[in-house]
Chain A
Amino acid sequence: MSVGAEGELTRPGLGRGFSDLRQSGFLLKLLVRKELKVRYRGSVLGLLWSYVKPGVQFIVFYIALGVFLGLEKSARNPDGLANYAIYLFSGIILINFFSEALGNAARSIVNNGNLIKKIYLPRELFPVASVWVSAVHFFPQLVILLVACIFAGWTPTAFQLISAVVGFVIVGLLATGLGLLFGSANVYFRDSENLVDMLLMIATWASPVMYSWTMVEQKLGPTVFAFYQANPITIGVELFHFAFWYPTTDGSALMPPNLLILWAPVGLAISLVILGLGQLTFRRLEGRFAQEL
């Protein structure tokens, strides 16, 4: 709906980008609530699935990688990572958030095609709502992580807690930006959602979630490693390690150099640029959504 002051002629159908979102806060809230309500409809476990799925995923990875492939530090394996379970889980929950947010955002425009074809509303709402829904699903996983951390003797500094928030924001902005980009492209080419699925598979392995960043640097050398490190998801994951895993170890583990003073701002900057690009692409393409869907 085009909301113009009375007595003033306005052109309908021209979105004002993110400033629309502030006006439509109520609608955004309802869309998020709707998604949360219908997600686990008709299932016995309901919202428990948000705990069960990452829990099982974690156990599988932990046994396969930590125990079989020997990434966990133990008496027989002194080169492994201390508290590998927490190392692994803190990365997994962030990647899960990113995967869910981007995967759903990329499909959100096509899935809401019926509405978009008939009623004008700020269409950015759909990808943004997908990211919000994923953030809500992220929360129970975070609670599990915190419980595990406390058992492992977690004593974080305020600085480390802030870096966790920064890591989450970096990944959230990136997912929103890419969601707008791929979501709008998906209207024209359904290849887009398949491309996203592939990217998400790569994203899980292109960040030090399962393994340690030192292994990458040893194999690739410092120049290529800089590119690896510039990935905002990698930065987000390492900020999470710094916040949740590092305080549970004896402090002898190596964190990537310049993580906080250089890479965190770089990650934030890259995410913001991608958000800007996504928004730009979205606005270029949204005018023809109604006829292409």
Chain B
Amino acid sequence: MVNAIEVSDISKQFVLRHTRSIKEAVVWLAKGRKGDLSEKFHALKDVSLAIKTGETVALLGLNGSGKSTLLKHISGVMLPDSGTVHTRGRVAGLIEVGAGFHPDLSGRDNVYLNGAILGMTEQQIEERFDAIVEFSEIGQFIDTEVKFYSSGMYLRLAFSVAVHTDPEVFLIDEILAVGDEPFQKKCIEKIQQLAQQGKTLVVVSHDLDLVSRICDRGILLEHGKITFDGPIVQAVELLRA
């Protein structure tokens, strides 16, 4: 098996307090440059990991441990301060469904727009359009502006577009809580199906029961560092302890 994702020694610092105005800068100078104008903290520190093609991996940790930041580095939204990230094949993020939706466009227009944002070609979207609408159970409302959709409908359509992008690597961030129970089940089945097809999955979720059903491997993050990397059952136990 080859590696689908290789992360080597990445670190990322965030600035905690942003000072942009001249007034604050002048006050800071007048006070004899006491303290830092900006405070920094490490969101990720010397993180290395390799994920093989076809693996299903859960990133676990408490709030603020750096899970989402790590996912953003894999998707390319963020670049590391030091270290490198490499990915193989097309990477698609189911990161916050509906980020690319525009409320004033119809469901149909949004499927095209969001599909293209997620990297699909015109032909691919046309081929999969019916499947996307069917999966979302939107039906006749597909030509209604999405601002009139209920929040459940909105999420269902967005999720449906995302799962139909068919990339080699899927990044999933806290989006499994989609819609009502039947639809949630359908989503989870779809994700499990993707895993069986040999897609690489990286999942961030606080729903520990759910991730232990989907994933085989768990990676525990704490304050931007990997504290555990192994079978999912052990990772969940460690986090619960």
Which residues of A does B touch, CB under 8 Å?
A: 1-4, 6-14, 24, 26-27, 30-31, 33-34, 37-38, 41, 114-121, 189-190, 287-288, 290-291
Contacts and interface: CB of A to CB of B under 8 A. Distances in A.
A34 B113 contact: yes
Contacts of B89: 4, 6-7
Contact of B76 (A30, A114, A120): A120
Contact of A119 (B105, B118, B167): B118
Interface string B54-68: 000000000000000
A38 B87 contact: no
Given A37-B105, A37-B109, A2 B77 contact: no
A114 B99 CA distance: 7
B9 interface: no
Contacts of A38: 102, 104-105
Nearest to A12: B76
Contact of B77 (A13, A24, A31): A13
Nearest to A35: B102
B47 to A, nearest CB: 15
B73 to A, nearest CB: 8
A3 B119 contact: yes
B85 interface: yes
Interface string B79-93: 100001111111111
Contacts of B210: none
B176 interface: no
B91 A2 contact: yes
Contacts of A26: 116, 121-122
Contacts of B99: 114-115, 118-119
Interface in B158-214: 167-168
Given A118-B96, A120-B76, A34 B91 contact: no
Contact of A115 (B20, B79, B100, B122): B100
30 contacts: A1-B90, A1-B119, A8-B88, A9-B3, A9-B86, A9-B88, A12-B76, A12-B85, A13-B77, A13-B85, A14-B76, A24-B116, A26-B116, A30-B116, A34-B105, A38-B105, A115-B100, A118-B77, A119-B77, A119-B95, A119-B99, A119-B100, A119-B118, A120-B75, A120-B76, A121-B117, A287-B78, A290-B72, A290-B77, A291-B78
A252 to B, nearest CB: 52
A34 B108 CA distance: 12
B46 interface: no
Contact of B88 (A1, A10, A30): A10
Contacts of A10: 86-88
B112 interface: yes
Nearest to A31: B113
A6 B88 contact: yes
Given A24-B116, A120-B75, A291-B78, 20 more contacts: A3-B119, A4-B90, A6-B88, A7-B89, A8-B88, A9-B86, A10-B86, A11-B87, A13-B73, A13-B76, A13-B79, A26-B121, A27-B116, A30-B112, A30-B116, A37-B104, A114-B99, A115-B99, A119-B100, A119-B117
